[in-house]
Structure formats: C-alpha cells, structure tokens
Structure 1
C-alpha cells in the first residue's frame, strides 16, 4: 500500500473483518447505518474526494448518474458478481475502472440452490408453517406428500461456475443432469451432464429446472407460459439467478393449475417487494435474494473488492477487472 491510504466510500456496511481492514488500510468514514442510494453516494464521493466507490445493487450507476461521478473516482468496485446495476461501457468510457467479485460466490450459491430444490420438492414451507402453528394432529398417509429428489432429472440453464457446482452436488443425489448453455462445454467442465443446444428440447425431460444465467436489461422473460407448458406435469422450477428470467404471472398460473408441483425462489421481478400472489401460495419455498449470504462468502467478496482498490492505488492491475 502507498504511504497515503486511498479514500474509499461504501454504500453498505460490510462484514466485520472487511470493516476492520478498511479501518486499518484505507481512509474512510464509518460504515453507513443503512444502505446508501445513488444520490447519497454521489454526494459523498464529491464531498470526500473518493478514490473508489464500493457499491451493491442498492446504488445503481447508469445514465446520468455515471456522468455525475466526480473525476476523483478512479474505480467502481461492486460487491457482487452481477453487473445489472452498472452501465459498464459508460463507466469505462469515462476512464473509471470497474471490478466485481467472481468465483468466491460459487459454492454458497450452489448450496442455496440445492436447498431450494430440496425444500421445494419436500414442501418445506408448508411443513415449517404447520410446526410453527403447533402441529397438533397426526398427518394422514397421503397428506402433504412431497416428491423425491434422489434419481430425478435436473435441467440446468446456464452452465457457468454455479451451474457446474450445482451439477456436482446433484450427483450426490444420483440425479441425471442435463444442461443448456450458449455453447457446449469441454467434457472436463460438463460434470457428467448432457448438453442440449435447444432449451425447448431439454424442458420435456426436466423433473426439476434450475436457472443460472444472467438477465439482459429489457429482454423478455426466458420462462413464459409456453416454456412452462413444455415441462412435465408435476415438475419444479428453481430460480436463484435473476427475477427477470421468469414471467411471474405464467409461473403463478402453472403452480395454481398443478402443472408445476412447486417452486423454489431466491429472486423476484420486484425486489424487495415480491408479488403478493407468490407470497400467498403456501407451497412455494422463498428466500430473500440470499445466495451469497454467509459469513465466509460475504467476507471474501468484500476482501476481493479491497484487493482491487489496493492494487489500483499501488499502480498495479486490478485483480478482477470488468472490461466490457
């Protein structure tokens, strides 16, 4: 680190170990009590002459906001893998470098996805509600039955790092794994999965479908009524990627009709206020966009952002640059 500690600002409070490193190695105000929005961060960057801005989805930087970033800012470091909240080309055009946090989220996101699969198939939301209400009676032999995960066919849409990690976990449940991706992977990366170039041809074979691809701004949902109709009756949808990938009206129709047995969701079209109709369905297992929410992963994400700030301040290449 140079003798003069670089000044950074952050839009959210970070895990304790990350905050301790900020206190030791950087110049910064105390962490905010609540997430800061874009306007607050831009004002703070100007006031504090910040060298780097650490942001999350709470602080989108697009359009006029990019133009409003003061010239003192040399780096926007997002504490995420996803870049939906950033206009990367505009930032780079202004000469502001961008970095994110790939790789360190992979295992925890795959773990959460496996939890969603198990919870959706075994009706965990209903079981939990029953127990919180006091249980009180013996269940009938044919009452509140879930579906077995072991031996089922899992379809993965998007076979990147997280998709591959999920495929490895699925093998422990003796699942047959299929995948759809922009390209066929090398056999060493396929984790024993079978490739389908056409998603529509893969869907009829999927007892469980898990989404692991980015969403393109303004693009229509990937999973529509027609796509749900191609899945077998009684199948399960899991989405821990992006809410925009799913037409939630079509999902509700498929669940209410019984065409889909259940769903496991970590992401939604409207966050943090998901569709009340989804919340009202008793079987859906839902989590609040928490794929990376472990001490280990959130700490690693914050540390990686700080590694990037330190590298740039020292005149070295970024550790995890975003270039396009």
Structure 2
C-alpha cells in the first residue's frame, strides 16, 4: 500500500506526476498558502508532509499533527520554518534540499549587491519618466570591482558568492562558525568575530542560516562596526536583520544601499523600506529558476522515498 503524503504547495507538473507514481498524494491545486490548522487538518492520518519555506510549522503545530506523520520533507535549503526540536521529540524526521539551489541563490546575491550599489531602483524610476538627463553626477553608484567583500556565512552559498565575486577582482573576507580548510577558503581571509569582518567589508553579503543564534545578528550594534557607505545584500533570511536598525543605517548613510530578497514576515515588507530609494527589492527569487525548483522538489521526493524504503534520507537534519 502506498504511503500518504500531504503536499502543502503546488509543485511543477513533472514533480507532482513523480510523487503520484510513488505515493498516494493530496496536492494543493490552487496553491493556497495554508494556515497551521489547515496543515494539521489536511494531513490528518497521513504518513508524511512535503512542505515549503512558506509553511510555518511551529512546535504547537507539530504537537497537533497526527501520530501517523513520520517525516516532513521541506522543499528548501533552510528549515527555519520548522521547529526541529519539537519534531525530533515527536519522532518526526525532517529533511531539507541543500546543494540544488546554491548556484541560483548565489546569482541572486550578486544581483542584489549590483542592483543596490548601482542604484538600479532609482535608475528604473528615472527611466520611466522618459525625461531624464545625463550629467556628470547623475545617479552615481558605488563600483563593485576591486572592493573588499565580507561574507557572513561561508557555507555552500557563501562560497559560491565568493567564486562569482572573484570575477569582479574582489578581495574576499568571511566570518563563519569555524575556519574553513585552505581548500574551501580558496584564498578568502577568515575573521573570528563580526566586528573584524564588518570593519573590512566595503560590500557585505549575508548568507548564514536562520537559527535562534542568528536572529537579528545584523543589528544596531553590529551595523555600527561598518565603515560609512557599505553596500549590503541579503539572500539568506529576513530575520537575520533587525529592520529598524537597517532602516536607520540606510537613512544615515552608514549603509549606502541594501539589496534584499527575503523579509521578516514575508510577503509583508517593513513599510519604511518602501519609502527609501537606496534599496533594491526582489520577491524571494533566490531559487526561482525552473531547473532549481524542479531539483528541489525532486530532492524532497527522494528523501521521502528513501525514508519509506527504510533508508536514512541523505538530507536528514534532525
């Protein structure tokens, strides 16, 4: 008998067809964003859940899931939307989908840094007026090449950002939970603490995972470590940044410009960001290529298949 899987968001057609070959599935044909109670009710008496980053699966939600739920396969590299401790205590395995979105997200991070530093938003507004006039000081941005790039979180995505940044002849600095091997560093300079990294960063790339320890890691105090006119890009998670502190830094000139693809409480955006011009916003497009989204869902499906075949999923996180 096929195991029953509750799928929280609509997937690409090919991915849904593959799931139906392997499992008895309930799909979200309207791609509705479910509330916690809808996930609890919808997955009642199911064996597993294939979730997405948009699904907040808290300790309270997990406590109310059917005892039949044995695995939550999260279709994302991160898993901050799931209470891992609560899942483990209830005997629920949690998996993610690393590797497959590294390149797509690193591409977006470079776009965020470039878009912010070269005033892409202001440029679009000026172009739309169709009466802009070139001048020596028209929308002067900050050049990215030959600058120092600080990377906060030198995991797979951080290293992919570093690789791309080298094409701009940038000097790479990083802070990580631990110093990487020389092979993985690939010439990057390690900083043991945030203050040291931020002081060296003319551009700052936020790539660390969302954890209780990294919540509001970029805050009023840590932003004060930056030199004036730093460019910041965030393609990791919104809750790593204290929005009020960042907005203050943008208004004061401490931060020259901020490019972000992720938000606290998305799809809502702090209203003050929308009043600023030294900002470059994208609607969480880090993994938004067809190949990457296909790979993510395929990887989540493979984790489900391995689990129910009696094997440890390759991407188990608890």
Contact conserved, 1:11 with 1:58, CA < 8 A, in 2? no
Displacement of 1:220 in angstroms is 5.5
Larger deviation: 271-280 or 311-320?
311-320
Match of 1:273 in 2: 268
The aligned runs of 1:8-87 (5 Å cut-off) are 8-33=5-30, 34-46=32-44, 49-87=45-83
Change (3 A) 1:299 1:219: closer
The answer to whether the aligner puts 1:182 opposite 2:177 as a matched pair is yes
The answer to whether the aligner puts 1:193 opposite 2:193 as a matched pair is no
Displacement of 1:301 in angstroms is 0.8
Displacement of 1:250 in angstroms is 1.7
Q: Could you say what secondary structure the match of 2:43 adopts?
A: helix
Larger deviation: 185-194 or 246-255?
246-255
Match of 1:263 in 2: 258
Q: Distance in 2 between matches of 1:317 and 1:229?
A: 45
Q: Distance in 2 between matches of 1:213 and 1:251?
A: 17
Displacement of 1:273 in angstroms is 0.9
Contact conserved, 1:167 with 1:191, CA < 8 A, in 2? no
Q: Could you say what secondary structure the match of 1:316 adopts?
A: coil
Q: Distance in 2 between matches of 1:55 and 1:16?
A: 16
Q: CA RMSD in A?
A: 1.6
Larger deviation: 21-30 or 191-200?
21-30
The 4+ residue runs of structure 1 with deviation greater than 3 A are 217-220
- Choose which of 120, 127, 146 in structure 2 pairs with 1:124: 120
Q: TM-score, normalised by structure 1?
A: 0.93
Q: Distance in 2 between matches of 1:253 and 1:90?
A: 36
Change (3 A) 1:321 1:244: same
The answer to whether the aligner puts 1:147 opposite 2:145 as a matched pair is no
Match of 2:297 in 1: 302
Q: Distance in 1 between matches of 2:232 and 2:207?
A: 12
Q: Distance in 2 between matches of 1:144 and 1:211?
A: 25
Q: Distance in 1 between matches of 2:195 and 2:168?
A: 25
Displacement of 1:27 in angstroms is 1.4
Structure 2 residues not aligned, in runs of 5+ = none
Displacement of 1:30 in angstroms is 3.8
Q: Could you say what secondary structure the match of 1:276 adopts?
A: coil
Cα deviation 1:29-81 (Å, max 9, x = unaligned): 343311222211211211xx312111123332222321211122121111112
Contact conserved, 1:9 with 1:45, CA < 8 A, in 2? yes
Q: TM-score, normalised by structure 2?
A: 0.94
Contact conserved, 2:126 with 2:132, CA < 8 A, in 1? no
Structure 1 residues not aligned, in runs of 5+ = none
Cα deviation 1:255-308 (Å, max 9, x = unaligned): 112222111111222321111110111120011222111111111110011111
Change (3 A) 1:59 1:247: closer
Match of 1:223 in 2: 218
